[in-house]
Amino acid sequence: LKLWRQMEERKRLNAAFAHDLKNPVTVLKGSAMLLQKGMEQSPPNPVLQKDSLALILQYTGRLEAYIEAMSHAGKMEALECHPVACSSLALYYGLKKSLPLLAADSGRKLEITFPGTDQEISIDRQFFLNTAENLVCNALRYAKSQVSAEISCTEEALLLTVTDDGPGYPALLLQKGPAFFRREDTSGGDHLGMGLATCRLLCEKHGGSLTLENRETGAQVKAVFKNRKS
């Protein structure tokens, strides 16, 4: 029984690892294509080249940090939260650069907003970015035409709200919540619900929560990350 549980944990960890590598790789590919485009322009676009290189370096570092963390974790719950002080506005600008690359081939419109004022918050950037990318990609998968992502901040927490105009969450998902290897739909595809389950785990390890709800025009998910200031 112990060996079976260990195998299941390893299977769960490997599936989550493979799932979460897709988004950074997509951003890296998109950044490389933008860099190539900037170099082919006449005259070359130095701003586009600089921004693309910065994003490539940022996401290369993220991949290195994520691989390091996952290689030392025997199971998902073993992942450690490492908050650092950062600007909520800087997090917003980071998403403004990376998330459109994930939506580029989706055929859906993506809007990213930041109402309110900038605040300093102590947060694990890896946890936050992984969650943002997973939630937006999930919304793009089900949306009819539009997805919106809004970042807001208080002294206590950072809130990310993602809304889409799709068919909404299945009743079972709303009732039981996201879980690893529980399918989010019954379409027979290979989607195993890894994204939402990982997001829920990361939010909870950050002292926050993940809340799903249906609206008249689609679905909405709210990810809360507690300000881990000392």
The predicted-structure confidence for 44-93, as pLDDT tens digits, reads as follows: 788 888 888 888 888 787 777 777 666 655 556 667 888 999 999 999 99
Give the pLDDT confidence score for residue 79 in this predicted structure.
75
Q: What confidence score (pLDDT) does residue 12 get? A: 64
- Tell me the per-residue pLDDT of 201-219, one tens digit each, with 9 for 90 and over: 889 989 999 999 999 889 9
Sign of CA dihedral 116, 119, 124, 129: positive
Q: Which two tokens stand for residue 191?
A: 């989607």
> What is the DSSP pairing of strand 109-113 with strand 146-153?
parallel
Q: Which helix (H) or strand (E) holds 56?
A: helix 46-71
Three-state DSSP state, 214:
strand
Q: Contact, 135 vs 225, CB < 8 A?
A: no
> In the numeric block, which tokens belong to residue 11?
């299977």
Nearest to 91 by CA among 65, 58, 69: 58
pLDDT in the model for residue 190: 33
Q: What is the identity of the amino acid at 24?
A: P
Euclidean distance between CA atoms 159 and 151, whole angstroms: 6
**Helical pair 125-142 and 46-71, crossing angle rounded to 10 deg:** 110
User: ∠ CA 119-123-127 to the nearest 5 degrees?
Assistant: 135
Parts of the chain with a pLDDT under 50 = 184-192
What local confidence, expressed as pLDDT, does residue 192 receive?
A: 36
Residue 191's nearest CA partner among 142, 145, 129 is 142
pLDDT of residue 40: 81
Name the amino acid, one letter, at 110. L
Note the pLDDT of residue 39.
79
Contact 159, 152 (CB under 8 A): yes
Question: Integer distance in angstroms from the first to the last C-alpha of the chain?
Answer: 41
CA gap 141, 196 in Å, rounded: 13
Position 17 scores a pLDDT of 65
Rounded to whole angstroms, the Cα distance separating 166 from 169 reads 9
What is the pLDDT, as a whole number, of residue 191? 36
Instruction: Note the pLDDT of residue 78.
Output: 67
CA distances for 41 relative to 101, 182, 227, angstroms:
20, 47, 43
